[in-house]
């Protein structure tokens, strides 16, 4: 565990477990690196080096006012990679973390990157427009920001059930695990959540994804009510040349807990398999 400093002087927290081929995890919006505890433990036990950091404004990292755009966030990821001098890395991201990975590849290239895994991805583009009618209506994000600005704990309570697939056949997550995950939101600044909500909903990755050249695995829940599988999972896999899509039919957005065993197995298989 340690800290590193970004280009604009922001101090970010990271943890570094195990040894071997490195795997770097980027986390979801409103959570922190804690979300990856089970996957990191599993992979480190299998001889991999697992690294995760808290995005600016989240977890144990500093909370600056600015920098919640994907250019800056991907530069933060690059600063971590440089700080630890990592090579042959597999980048694993969840939701907003997938945007950081996509932009990292655009801005910093794939010299340090061997493979990519996008879990519950928000790419290629979420927000609906006249030119992009298949997207999610903008009012959904506007209403979300209004709720967060007025009553963040109330908003968290309202979305926890759908996030973890409450009521979905085949999905059964203990209330203690839900509570443990929800507690993570207390360490996120409201400023970061509001600013990043625009970034994650309005950034268009369609052109960038077409230029991804490293082996990519896309994992998505078929019952994801936040980033719909047809729009995001399948939409992303269609754009990244040679990518592989795995859909967990009953999976909600929070696959890292609801499908922790299956996700850990799929990550390990993808990371350790030799290139054909």
Query: Over the stretch 94-113, which tens digit does the pLDDT of each residue have?
Result: 999 999 999 999 999 999 99
- For residue 30, indicate whether it is catalytic: no
pLDDT band at 275 (very low <50, low <70, confident <90, very high): low
Write down the catalytic residue from 28, 30, 74, 95. Answer: 95
Spell out the domain ranges in the chain: 2-272
10-14, 111-115, 149-153: the lowest-pLDDT one: 149-153
- For residue 95, indicate whether it is catalytic: yes
Q: Write out the two tokens for 65.
A: 């006012």
Average pLDDT over residues 234-245: 98
- The mean pLDDT of the chain is 96
Whether pLDDT at 276 is above 70:
no
Percent of residues, the chain, with pLDDT higher than 90: 91
Whether pLDDT at 178 is above 90:
no
Average pLDDT over residues 185-192: 94
Q: Which of 214, 210, 258, 262 is nearest to 236 (CA)?
A: 210
Whether pLDDT at 211 is above 70:
yes
The pLDDT of residue 154 is 93
Phi, psi dihedrals of residue 93, rounded to the nearest 5°: -125, 150
Which tens digits make up the pLDDT trace of 76-94? 999 999 999 999 999 999 9
Q: Write out the two tokens for 153.
A: 């704990």
Q: Write out the two tokens for 54.
A: 């808290």
Write down the catalytic residue from 42, 220, 253, 256. Answer: 253
Whether pLDDT at 114 is above 90:
yes
DSSP 190-255: HHHHHHHHHHHHH---HHHHTT--S-EEEEEETT-SSS-IIIIIHHHHHHSTT-EEEEETT--S-H
Average pLDDT over residues 57-85: 98
Which tens digits make up the pLDDT trace of 157-167? 999 999 999 87
Dihedral sign computed on CA atoms, order 142, 145, 150, 151 = positive
- For residue 58, indicate whether it is catalytic: no
* Sheet containing 49-53: order of strands: 2-5, 11-17, 49-53, 22-26, 89-94, 113-119, 216-221, 244-248
Coil, helix or strand for 136?
A: strand
Write down the catalytic residue from 224, 243, 259, 266. Answer: 224
- Does residue 264 or residue 168 have the better pLDDT? 264
Fold held by 2-272: Rossmann fold (3.40.50)
Which tens digits make up the pLDDT trace of 249-260? 999 999 999 999
Question: How many residues in the chain?
Answer: 276
pLDDT band at 172 (very low <50, low <70, confident <90, very high): confident
Location of structure tokens 């992303």: 236
């Amino acid at each position: 565990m340690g800290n590193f400093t970004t280009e604009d002087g922001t101090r970010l927290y990271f943890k570094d477990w195990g040894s071997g081929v490195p795997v770097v995890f980027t986390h979801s919006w409103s959570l922190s690196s804690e979300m990856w505890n089970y996957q990191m433990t599993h992979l480190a036990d299998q001889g991999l080096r697992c690294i995760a950091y808290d995005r600016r404004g989240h977890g144990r990292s500093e909370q600056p006012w600015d920098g919640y755009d994907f250019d800056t966030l991907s530069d933060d990821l690059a600063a971590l990679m440089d700080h630890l001098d990592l090579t042959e890395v597999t980048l694993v991201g969840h939701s907003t973390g997938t945007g950081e990975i996509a932009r990292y590849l655009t801005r910093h290239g794939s010299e340090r990157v061997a493979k990519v895994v996008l879990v519950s991805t928000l790419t290629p583009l979420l927000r609906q427009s006249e030119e992009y009618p298949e997207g999610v209506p903008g009012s959904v994000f506007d209403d979300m920001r209004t709720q967060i600005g007025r009553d963040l704990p109330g908003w968290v309570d309202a979305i926890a059930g759908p996030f973890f697939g409450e009521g979905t056949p085949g999905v059964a997550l203990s209330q203690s695990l839900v509570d443990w995950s929800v507690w993570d939101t207390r360490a996120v600044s409201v400023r970061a959540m509001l600013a990043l909500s625009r970034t994650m909903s309005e950034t268009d990755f369609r052109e960038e994804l077409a230029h991804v050249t490293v082996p990519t695995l896309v994992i998505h829940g078929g019952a994801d009510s936040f980033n719909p599988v047809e729009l995001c999972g399948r939409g992303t896999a269609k754009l990244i040349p040679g990518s592989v899509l795995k859909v967990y039919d009953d999976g909600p957005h929070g696959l890292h807990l609801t499908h922790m065993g299956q996700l850990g197995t799929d990550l390990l298989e993808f990371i350790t398999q030799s290139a054909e």
